[in-house]
């Protein structure tokens, strides 16, 4: 699991951690049943407080992305949760807006794919 923290983003660190883990779950980089690194390990690796990482993990569990097993750790949820369904619906809606904007500007699907690949390579 790879997480990059940006102090210049203006977004709370726990939100950055949470969003990046959600992104990795949604992309398949983290699979159902995978264990997240321990809170202490993650805090040390990122150079942040334990409470910050705990809040991110707690939010992930509350949102259905992960679950906590007492004494064992935090794991990626084994099924497609309501949170994941909601995430994909929100993503689809945003993509619809982008596609509509692009169509109004005369930009086709192929060009949109090129732009996405360009962004991915950055």
CATH fold of 13-76: Arc Repressor Mutant, subunit A (1.10.10)
DSSP 35: B
pLDDT at residue 52 tops 70? yes
Q: Is 80 left (phi over 0), alpha (psi -120 to 50) or beta?
A: beta
pLDDT of 28: 87
Pair of tokens at residue 102: 């692009």
Kindly report, residue by residue over 6-49, the tens digit of the pLDDT: 888 889 999 999 999 999 998 889 999 999 999 999 999 999 99
pLDDT for 95-107, tens place per residue? Answer: 999 989 988 989 8
pLDDT at 88: 84
The model's pTM is 0.69
């Amino acid at each position: 699991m790879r997480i990059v923290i940006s102090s210049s983003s203006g977004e709370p660190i726990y939100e950055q951690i949470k969003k990046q883990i959600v992104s990795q779950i949604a992309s398949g980089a983290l699979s159902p049943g995978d264990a997240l690194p321990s809170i202490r390990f993650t805090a040390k690796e990122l150079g942040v407080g334990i409470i910050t990482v705990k809040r991110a993990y707690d939010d992930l569990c509350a949102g259905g992305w992960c679950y906590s097993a007492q004494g064992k750790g935090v794991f990626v949820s084994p099924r497609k949760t309501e949170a994941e369904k909601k995430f994909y619906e929100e993503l689809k809606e945003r993509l619809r807006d982008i596609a509509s904007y692009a169509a109004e500007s005369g930009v086709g699907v192929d060009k949109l794919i090129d732009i996405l690949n360009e962004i991915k390579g950055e």
